[in-house]
Structure 1
Amino acid sequence: MKRGFPLAGLLRLRRLQQDQAALDLAEANARVAAIEARRGRARSALNTSGATPQTVAAMNAMAAARSSSRSMLADLDALGRTNQTSADQAQTVFDAARAESIALEKLEVRHLAAVAAADLHAEQIVLDEIASTRWHRDQDNSDPRSDVTS
């Protein structure tokens, strides 16, 4: 006889919440990685401009470009910190959702073990009853008093 886990619906809900938290975490981590890649490209572009200006106007343009690049790097750093904070929060939410799922999964395992033990116990009772009945029947058939004729 199969008895279902009474908290199966709640376990399904917790697993869905965990899956959603995992998705949110993956998205946050992807945003962090994308910003980090953009930062790396911007730093690389800033470091590779090795041309020496020939005129004052070219030097002013180069200074403006470097200033703009530094400003962009500062913006990317701020965005990176914001995204990292979001990723950390998403990790915390995922860890909490996982902990709730694990607790219910452990209860489910215990329930399944208890059901299996109860089923085995019931089966053993039936087998013991069959063996006992047969033993008593065999005893009655081999009883010498039952063979006495009057």
Structure 2
Amino acid sequence: MARRFPLDGLLRARRLSEERAAATLERANHGRRAAEVAVDDARTRLTGLGFASPGHAGATALATPETWQIIAASRAASATTISELTGALHEASTKADLAAQQWGEARMRVSMIEKLGERHAAKVAAEDLAAEQLVLDEAALRRSLDKEDR
């Protein structure tokens, strides 16, 4: 006779909590990856904003002071953008780390109840086997007694 695990309801609730924590972790990791890509893209764009040297082909187009000022302002703006994106990346990483910690805690709470469930199942199985063995022993004893009575 299989008995229900008395903590089944709690186990279901903790599994739902773990699933929510896992979904939050996935969103946080996605946010971190997006922030990493944004920082990398901005750095790549900044690298492309160079000053042509006087001997470089096309240097005559960049020789005016206004052009140099535009490039310098563009590089400064890009550097500011990278700084802001790096701050956003730090924030996204912090959120992802916190989400990972919360998921780990939720997983641990589920694991504790699962272990209790496994112990319960083993105990029920042992009791069922003992009851079955008792029935078999009684049947064997009856057969033995029936043979003696004949």
Q: TM-score if structure 1 supplies the norm length?
A: 0.91
In the aligned structure 2, how far is the partner of 1:49 from the partner of 1:70? 11
Matched, 1:92 2:101: yes
Superposed, 1:1-150 pairs within 5 Å as 1-52=1-52, 53-141=62-150
Moved over 3 A (4+): none
Moved more, 91-100 or 46-55: 46-55
Q: What letter corresponds to residue 77 of structure 1 in structure 2?
A: T
C-alpha distance after superposition, 1:7-44 (max 9, x if no partner) = 00000000000000000011001100000001111101
SS at match of 2:99: helix
In the aligned structure 2, how far is the partner of 1:7 from the partner of 1:46? 58
SS at match of 1:5: coil
- Residue 54 of structure 1: CA displacement? 2.1
RMSD over aligned Cα, in angstroms?
0.8
SS at match of 2:74: helix
Give aligned pairs, total: 141
State the percentage of identical aligned residues.
40
- Residue 91 of structure 1: CA displacement? 0.9
Which of these two proteins has the greater Rg computed from alpha carbons?
A: 1
